Structure 1
């Protein structure tokens, strides 16, 4: 197919060629008539003589010979390593002594799926799915998040500000660090995301016990209910709180079916895992906060923007609220 700026379509090329070959027009006259160069007019006339109307189509710009292309056996080795180890181009290149860009070209030519599109455990393509209606499945998960010290963390002061972390400068009354971080405690983000609409509900809670998880779900279910969504199934990982009798009884009492992901397969719960990443990137670490309270106070506004205004790529640029007609406050 001709490119957007081509002066001639295939039909125009054929008409030009017939004027020269069949009707005997001089090349310059035909070139002037069709507003192209004499060289172009000659090319299409010659192709018409040799191939007829079939010669009016564009040919591939790929060279007939590629003397610098890797030998077939090396390309097969690249594909074999990818299949067996599921490594990216950089690691394969390091193993085989090649350039990463060369390895990438081999993988593209081989039609190999990107790593993010396959299951690392099996190598099989990840099956994308979306339930047909809101409430058919809600993904639930917990994300552990370190608290911010008063005055701000390293995003404001830097990781080694003042040298106070070294043993020579440590205040004996200052809390000792645990695993490189001051013992400031953690918050636990309990998240629920509707599979069809991506509508999300989030709370920051002090722990991930079964009592806390069950109470969170009661409030999350009420949020979905007031939005016009009746939840019929819930998907979680295999965390202890989700394997408890309390969690089971809480869902059963509401007529909700509980499903759990396969062990060591977090991608099964991929929609809430992706929401976790968005939550961290666009709220938790989006700007320097001076206190944990300041960050937590910013969460409701961010969540409102996410549900009502932020375009979602899986929803063709529309926000989750666009798939929940009964959701109040959609345009606030």
Structure 2
């Protein structure tokens, strides 16, 4: 409700009170009006109705003749945005040095029309203006944000085609009586979720190389595709001196980039971690309770059978999979066919 509406309502209350009391003098004394004002209000109400109770200034209601020009008002607002803690006198003096003549009262008038009378309001305006600006971040600033911001740290891995990124990991399955500890060397294509896995009794660089050389790379070659990048943790079977470590040397020979996850951050290799959970829930925990294994080969055969189902028959509910099988997405994400040189091996490079 505006001030004019409040005044009109008060005048109407004066007329109603005088009618109820049947005493004009007493009503005027209660409401704070004179008898002359009462009769003038009643005459306007009887002549013009409720519109007669609204005070109207004579003449057109336009801008005040002493209001500063638009150029000066713009200069005041720009200065207040750059220096929101300056008072009206300081702003007037600063503008005078630039050849803009305005009084401190004129500055306050501009502030009043834009709700900037207090220092706090001017500081809030500065915050809003800064939020609307687009800031170009340097590479160093981006690295700091990725390090300390959970939004950047937990973001999804973006993969655009088959073979662009392949995640690998070593998973401890359990202990097999008469055999010893059993480890799974797991590999998954991050675009299609197509998975490979081999069981070993140790976790060594040679076992990590074996599953890539015998299972993964031949499968990609059969589909005229190539592995661009391998993502692993910092385990000893994957990482070491590039000129001596077998796994590093193998990746260099195959011209595959090797990336590692952050220490103690398994979320950064989430595709293969989720594969391990699926293997546990749908295969190992069930087979371990329904079948007695005496040899590693028996476990490997059952794992191979499950991986066939996982890759070609089981609908996948992962992000962007939409219930498709990994093999279907694997073929869909194959890059355009290109002439491909035969893969280098230890035999043909000797």
TM-score, normalising length from structure 2? 0.47
TM-score, normalising length from structure 1? 0.49
Highest Rg: 1 or 2? Answer: 2
Which has more helix, going by share of residues?
2
